[in-house]
Chains A and B, each alone.
Chain A
Amino acid sequence: MRPLLSVRDIKRHYQVRVPGGFFGRDALLKAVDGLSFDINRGETLGLVGESGCGKSTTARLVMGHIPLTAGSVAFDGQPVTARHDSDWRAMRRRMQMVYQDTLGALDRRLTISEQIGEPFAIHEPVMTAGQRHERALSLMDSVGLRADMARRFPHELSGGQRQRVVIARALALSPDLLVCDEPVSALDVSIQAQVLNLLDDLREQTGFAALFISHDLKVVRQMSDRVAVMYLGKIVETGAPEAVFKRAQHPYTKALISAIPTPRNRGRRERIVLEGDPPSPVDVPPGCAFHTRCPLAMTQCRLDTPLLSGDGDHLVACHAIHQSAQSAPLAAE
């Protein structure tokens, strides 16, 4: 079966000017550098990584906000481009986005019901204003907003309520794919749980596929059918959440997971502390981008870029893991 979203080796590079010489020198910032993944119908892929690793750029490339430097994004067989023509607009019926900054994403001069009804005004011009209002009210009900909020303005709502408005608007036309870019990072923990449960419920009801982006490992783990861990514009490990979180193989994933605070096992679990900051995406080290901070770094890591490989669904991009996997059968003999 053809995957709903097929992302093949996408790259997004920016020409930037960095200090050096009299006028600075040109450099290439590799925000996203060769990313491939598929999302099947009804499946949720969680994309996790620290800030600056290219998660949001990936979301914008998938949505076709910004042009690709290389690679291809296909949505249900159709290529997604950054040309904002009528085809692109028609595709919005089927792919929608949920944002982190909800106050910015809503027009502060329109009421809630007008904004939730706006997708109908755009894509179904035959609908009357009254019908749009009806639909908006039923959508508000399905995301748990009271009907008396219909006439309110975005700044009169709380952050969690605004995120519900954004979700209701995104789901108005029952899209097949929902790209969620840090949907709960701006919310309190208790509100986070409510919004995540809401998203989960809605997914069960309508069956949309999702690209779920977050820096919060627990959130990603709760929401995803599959997880991809990103480091400096590349996927370093991908697989089912249980496999990635319980049997992490890549040293970066291990370090990330060891940083999750837990009430249990305090002091007992080994805390892996990475040295230094992630390298700037302008000067990505050659070979494996992680070798500067990696406890397992070898000579090969400085020379060759490791490829994602492994058995079954659980793929890792790490020379050390691959070597030990090759030598393990030998040792067993």
Chain B
Amino acid sequence: MTIDTGNLNPTSQVSRPSGGSFFTSKGRYRAFFETWPPIVLIALFFIGLAIFVVATAPLIAPYDFMAMDLRDRLTPPALFGGTWAHPLGTDELGRDLLSRLIISIRVSMMIAFLSTLIAGTLGITLGFLAAYFRGRVEQLIMMLIDAQASMPFMIIALAVLAFLGNSLFLFIVLMGFYGWERIARIARGLAIAATEQGYATSVRDLGASPMRIYGRHILPNIASTLIVSMTLNFPEVILLESGLSFLGLGVQPPMTSLGNMVGYGRDYIQSAPWIMLVPSAAIVLTTLSISIVGDWMRDRFDPTLR
């Protein structure tokens, strides 16, 4: 008898908890971090925090973002010589930077979200129209796309804001024209590819109207790619809004936004750099997080990359 009965003995297995199994605790952690890379987790956490701030901004802001306290002007942040009364310090008018940051994140995120929604709707509609009609209509839409893509959007935005003045509504609509051409191109390409696929043809064979084919079948099937491209549009709108606000053409005081804060903080860059650095850090972290998550989503949703 050369069979080693030791392995059949339950006590000997208990004494070797990892006895040859692949499902060790180390393997589980590694598998977890392969599906959820740490950087993506951090980015997701930060996005979650930003969404929380957007949802509850007036409640969690310690002060009114417009309340001035001229005796407490230019206080540095806590740990840098300031007090915990103003954790991120105050600006040149004594307004609490933390409260302003919270409201700014809300305003900037709202603008970026609504604009991306407009750009997505516009892009998908035009892309689908081009894919459905082909021919002349498609050429016209592609010409519009090329025209939009060949002009620097910043210049267009400057011109529109200079001529039409500025209001939050107009600003959001204007930002909505940013990036639609890329979404339209993607939507058109995907829709043309999808109409050649069996499911679209077979639904047309059932007698479905084009609205039904595109809305109920093609859109859900290509939605993942479109959502990812819209996610990548989002941080760019935040940056654009920041740039325009920095130039004084975006969100107007007393309303505040991230770019607006950076723009008015630049006068104090040497004496009170935190006024500018705090919103700048928020811009960098938000856009970076969204880009990282967008990239990760593209990899996850794309079956060819899996």
Contact = CB atoms under 8 A, between A and B. Distances in A.
Contact of A104 (B198, B208, B212, B217): B198
Contact of B207 (A90, A103, A104): A90
Interface stretch (A20-28, A93-101, A247-255): A93-101
Contacts of A166: 202
B202 A106 contact: yes
Contact of A92 (B198, B207, B212, B220): B207
A63 B205 contact: yes
Contact of A107 (B203, B204, B205): B203
24 contacts: A65-B201, A84-B204, A90-B207, A92-B205, A92-B207, A96-B206, A97-B202, A97-B205, A99-B198, A103-B198, A105-B198, A105-B199, A106-B198, A106-B199, A106-B202, A107-B199, A107-B217, A108-B221, A118-B203, A118-B206, A119-B206, A122-B206, A122-B207, A123-B207
A92 B203 contact: no
Nearest to B207: A92
B252 interface: no
Contacts, number: 52
Contacts of B199: 104-108
From B202, B208, B221, name the one whose CB has the most chain A CB atoms within 10 angstroms.
B202
Interface of A: 63, 65, 84, 89-93, 96-97, 99, 101, 103-110, 118-119, 122-123, 166, 169
B209 interface: yes
B197 interface: yes
Contacts of B202: 97, 99, 105-106, 166
A91 B207 CA distance: 8
A325 to B, nearest CB: 42
Contacts of A93: 207
Contacts of A169: 206
Given A109-B220, A109-B221, A122-B212, A104 B205 contact: no
A105 B198 CA distance: 4
Nearest to A179: B205
Contacts of A105: 198-199, 201-202
From A89, A108, A123, name the one whose CB has the most chain B CB atoms within 10 angstroms.
A89
Given A96-B206, A107-B217, A169-B206, 15 more contacts: A63-B205, A65-B201, A84-B204, A89-B208, A89-B209, A90-B207, A93-B207, A99-B202, A104-B198, A104-B199, A105-B202, A106-B202, A107-B199, A107-B203, A107-B221
A325 B157 CA distance: 84
